Amino acid sequence: MNTTPLGDRPYDLILFDLDGTLIETVPEIADAVNDTLLQFGHAPASQQQITDWIGHGTRELLIQALAQATHASAEAVRGSAQFATIEAAFGEHYLRRCGSRSQLYPQVRATLTALRAAGVRLALVTNKEARYTQAVLAAHQLDQAFDRVVCGDTLAVRKPNPAGIESCLQQFGVAPERALFVGDSSIDVATARNAGIAVWVLPYGYNMGQPIAASAPDRVIVDVSALLPTAF
């Protein structure tokens, strides 16, 4: 791989969350959730409610939406005989919606391109399931942007468990002090802390309605261009 020096870069591996960090996906997720709710005779949820449910993967988000719509507990929804049918319908709706109303946040494409061209390893660690992750990445021409993609169903566990980060550190032979996680939620901060690596966050993402600074990240950045050498 031909690389261009990136100054005295402090990180050899940068890992990213997806939703709310690299791509604004709420509008189309909300569309798919409400497509599903309406199909099964339920009232739609607001986009703000759906935003606040993001973080643990689309399956958990759907469970929360159904729990509210049916006035049932999340446990009752998970155990429902109809849930598998509803989840399958949601999958069809979401795959159809992927790329329809999502958009890259500022500086994402240029920053990823510059970092990778300079030899920084890039990984994506998301709780979104693989088929949706790949559809969203492909819709925005980012499917070749990462050296490794770890989705919510890639391993037996998901964030905030650090296994996704740890597997990337091992694969690329990078020490924890040479790695950085970039996210937008308290889940991302906890994941990075559990893995023993630094964490920077974006203030515009999805943190379940809470201010991200309260999660005590190492740094809050305006956009991902802060990852470029002139910003360190």
Q: What is the pTM of this model?
A: 0.92
pLDDT at 230 over 90: no
Q: In the predicted model, is pLDDT for residue 6 greater than 80? A: no
Task: Say whether 26-97 and 13-25+102-231 share the same fold.
Answer: no
pLDDT tens for 124-175 read 999 999 999 999 999 999 999 999 999 999 999 999 999 999 999 999 999 9
Are 45 and 65 in contact by the 8 Å Cβ rule? The answer is: yes
Q: Residue 231: is its pLDDT beyond 80?
A: no
- What residue spans define the domains of the chain? 13-25+102-231, 26-97
In the predicted model, is pLDDT for residue 3 greater than 90? no
SS3 state at 78: helix
Residue 15, strand partner residues: 123, 181
Q: What is the pLDDT of residues 66-124, one digit of tens each?
A: 999 999 999 999 999 999 999 999 999 999 999 999 999 999 999 999 999 999 999 99
User: Which residues, in sequence order, are CB contacts of 29 under 8 Å at separation 6+?
Assistant: 19, 50, 54, 58, 61, 94, 97
The structural architecture, per CATH, of the domain 13-25+102-231 is: 3-Layer(aba) Sandwich (3.40)
- Which stretches of the chain are DSSP H helices? 26-39, 47-53, 58-70, 74-78, 83-97, 108-117, 130-139, 163-172, 186-195
Question: 26-97, which class in CATH?
Answer: mainly alpha
Catalytic site residue 31?
A: no
Give the pLDDT confidence score for residue 4 in this predicted structure: 38
pLDDT over 60 (residue 232): no
33 close to 61: Cβ distance less than 8 angstroms: yes
Q: Which pLDDT value is given to residue 1?
A: 35
Query: Which listed residue (17, 19, 31, 184) is catalytic?
Result: 17
Burial class (CB in 10 A: 0-12, 13-18, 19+), 141: exposed
Amino acid residing at 205:
G
**Distance of alpha carbon 189 from alpha carbon 179, whole angstroms:** 14
Nearest CA to 136 among 120, 119, 124, 122? 124
